[in-house]
Structure 1
């Protein structure tokens, strides 16, 4: 099955693409002392009809993951076995499967293959510690798979990154092509002065256990971040998941349909320039400035626990004026810091069509446009509501950043 680039499409096809289902979630800690003071003023009445923002972008999620993306082991019948050596880079210039092992310093695995080549790197007990260059650098290929065996693997870059011509190599795993991470093992990534994993195209995670510590974005992609499974634990000084494309407004998307994400972020936890869509998985955002941010945000299924210092879920016009938040099912648990904060904040519309939402915040909902509670179970500071509440007008603060580069 040929893999498709994740782009947004017109909201006209929304009914054919979105499945109303339930999202589950556990309860986040904290809540401000002034949360109980939130007053309820009706802005819309409940309706049995699910509603979507007119003109808002939605994602075509068909055929996003190929069979090989989802396969958690490699075909080793014709694989090349390689033992890494310190102070020696390894260049993979042909399509194939390469099984790597060894504990080394200052060595980069470089993929420089034909534009139609698919290269699979199998991590079989690898430890790479570099001073200023990526552990894996995908310079050219059609697609690269990084697959872990049932083994422990570690990659660390301790210093600042050197450039390759005009390309700023700013991540422990840096790819200029589509890249998929999968497998049955563990991979720990430490980036003391840069990003954890970065791709100029699509970045997919379909299996494996990952721990990422980074001074810049933990996982970054220009076109899309796509997660179907795996366990990902992130501790970052910037954004945890960041997708942004400066040239194509239909890209810069994040799609999550499964897996477990545990996020501690000094800045945003999950931020996409265009669309963030969550169709499943367990997401635990322990701390963040903005929990989830994009032009359009859709939650159809999954388990979300979220704590934020600014906005919990924020729709802001990054690529078009049709900013919107849409919840079609599930349980979302949002706790906000005290002060001028909003649990759900949209510079456009908010539609709650289903699911279970529990909010602890001084301001639960803030929309510049339409705000509707059409279905579901919504509790604000312990009180179940039947109408969307807005305590003030406003909208979100917006976002900034740079896909494929360290943001200061």
Structure 2
């Protein structure tokens, strides 16, 4: 049986660069463009034992299973996002999830976002199944409202989230400052990998 290692973040407002699998990979850039003064830092950190992360872990925090037939598929390609099911809408490459449920994300977005804006009682599972999202002027993953969000890294997949060196923010998201930004409890688990390229707030 393949070991599943996870990270649980409770009551966290800012998640600038986090990953979960057998290692963490964080790539920090001083700017979007290459220059003689730019720098890049990559670190690999082994995850601590589950008991060291959070002593009050619930069973659902380590659950990587899901029903594919009842899930909503979201596929990024060619400057747009195709949604197969209900509970999410797309405008270009920006996807807004507004209902509880499981959403399977795949494909590549060159200037896209995932926004979770659901009821405060909603529990949402995001399956990262080989998804690569770059956002040119904001965070690629924003959880603005939900009870809890689970990110599951599908076994054998590589997933990437990349933000920009500068954000274009409105009044409602003026404090957003990380490549992953959540106002709800967020758990990341699974045996795939997630790389976060944090340009705006590098570590």
Matched, 1:152 2:158: yes
Matched, 1:93 2:98: yes
* Ranges of 4+ aligned residues in structure 1 off by more than 4 Å: none
Task: State the partner residue of 1:181.
Answer: 188
Q: Provide the secondary structure at the position in 2 that maps to 1:68.
A: helix
TM-aligned CA deviation for residue 88 of structure 1? 2.2
TM-aligned CA deviation for residue 162 of structure 1? 2.8
Q: Provide the secondary structure at the position in 1 that maps to 2:61.
A: helix
TM-aligned CA deviation for residue 75 of structure 1? 3.4
Cα separation, 1, equivalents of 2:194 and 2:65: 15
Cα separation, 1, equivalents of 2:71 and 2:200: 34
Cα separation, 1, equivalents of 2:63 and 2:71: 16
Cα separation, 2, equivalents of 1:70 and 1:135: 24
Unaligned runs of 5+ in 1: 7-60, 195-214, 216-235, 237-408
Structure with larger Rg: 1
- TM-score, normalization by structure 1: 0.32
Higher relative contact order (CA 8 A, sep 6+): 2
Cα separation, 1, equivalents of 2:98 and 2:189: 21
Q: Provide the secondary structure at the position in 1 that maps to 2:179.
A: strand
Instruction: Sort the Cα spacing of 1:113 and 1:166 in 2 relative to 1 into closer, same or farther, 3 A.
Output: closer
Cα separation, 1, equivalents of 2:94 and 2:172: 20
Q: Provide the secondary structure at the position in 1 that maps to 2:149.
A: strand
Unaligned runs of 5+ in 2: 1-9, 12-53, 80-91
Cα separation, 2, equivalents of 1:133 and 1:158: 7
Task: State the partner residue of 2:21.
Answer: none
Task: State the partner residue of 2:60.
Answer: 68
Cα separation, 2, equivalents of 1:131 and 1:69: 31
* Contact 2:93–2:109 (8 Å) recurs in 1: no
**CA RMSD of superposed structures (Å):** 2.3
- Cα displacement string for residues 140-167 of structure 1 (whole angstroms, at most 9, x for unaligned residues): 1000011110201111113212334253
* Contact 1:73–1:184 (8 Å) recurs in 2: no
* Contact 1:162–1:169 (8 Å) recurs in 2: no
TM-aligned CA deviation for residue 134 of structure 1? 1.3
Task: State the partner residue of 1:78.
Answer: 70
TM-aligned CA deviation for residue 73 of structure 1? 3.4
Cα separation, 2, equivalents of 1:171 and 1:73: 28
* Contact 2:179–2:200 (8 Å) recurs in 1: no
Aligned residues: 139
Task: State the partner residue of 1:134.
Answer: 139
Residues 157-236 of structure 1 aligned to structure 2 (within 5 Å): 157-167=163-173, 168-194=175-201, 215=202, 236=203
Cα separation, 2, equivalents of 1:155 and 1:185: 14
Matched, 1:108 2:100: no
- TM-score, normalization by structure 2: 0.63
* Contact 2:113–2:134 (8 Å) recurs in 1: no
